[in-house]
Amino acid sequence: MKRSDLRWRFAPGLLLSAVVLASPAFAATDSGLEKVLAKMDETAAKFRTAQANFTWTTYNSVVNAESGKQTGKIYFRRVGNETEMSAEIDPQTPDAQKVIFSKGKIQIYRSRTGIADEYDAGTHREEFETFLVLGFGSSGEDMSKSFDISYDGEEKVDGTDTAKLELVPKSEKIKQHFPQIILWINPQSGISVQQKLLEPNGDYRLAKYSDIKLGQKIPGKVFQLKTSENTKVVTH
């Protein structure tokens, strides 16, 4: 989807614009978006924890094929006004990784190298939080502050009815990396079951979530990086 900037210069254009805005199709689209965002607001208000299995697949637009795939488990929990995230990536392989977003820091541990990279989100904390927890406990109101959102109808994802939302970042910095993001939201739970992040060159990352569980207790150690005396911590 490309952003459309409707700048009507002539009277016929203005008339056409008015007709489109008043049409039943536009009204239905507008209503659909409002319902999804309202459900996300409702879910966010009572959100405590979420966990799910995931498959993250990257696609190369030049050859129109997969260029990589990762699987694992992802966890979220609300702490005060913030949402923390922990992901265990390819846990049963030599390339296992753990990614944690907590207390304004991003930590990435790679088993193969034994190195733990730590990044201070600093002034970009809200941007990191937006992407790392997008669709999991984030409210429709907050999402609307960071993105221009349009409703693209209903679509089944692996047998689940979803509402498809197209997001365009308002931040130019974010837009440089991901000019468009598509979310498939379960209208019953207000949680994302699929996400597509498109890059400027046409490549994209597709994230699928399954076995989603809400409100279950998650041990605190899940959001802590377990290191040993052999672990090398690198602060960025």
Output the pTM of the full model: 0.82
Domain ranges in the chain are 32-235
pLDDT of 178 strictly over 50: yes
- 73-82 pLDDT, tens per residue? 999 999 888 8
Facing residues of 206 across strands? 57, 196
Mean pLDDT of 99-116: 90
pLDDT of res. 82: 83
The pLDDT mean for the chain works out to: 84
pLDDT of res. 29: 58
Looking at domain 32-235, what is its CATH homologous superfamily?
Lipoprotein localisation LolA/LolB/LppX (2.50.20.10)
pLDDT of res. 72: 96
pLDDT of 124 strictly over 80: no
pLDDT of 14 strictly over 60: no
- What is the spatial distance between Cα 21 and Cα 28, in angstroms, rounded to a whole number? 11
pLDDT of 26 strictly over 50: no
- What is the spatial distance between Cα 194 and Cα 106, in angstroms, rounded to a whole number? 23
pLDDT of res. 126: 64
- What is the spatial distance between Cα 18 and Cα 16, in angstroms, rounded to a whole number? 5
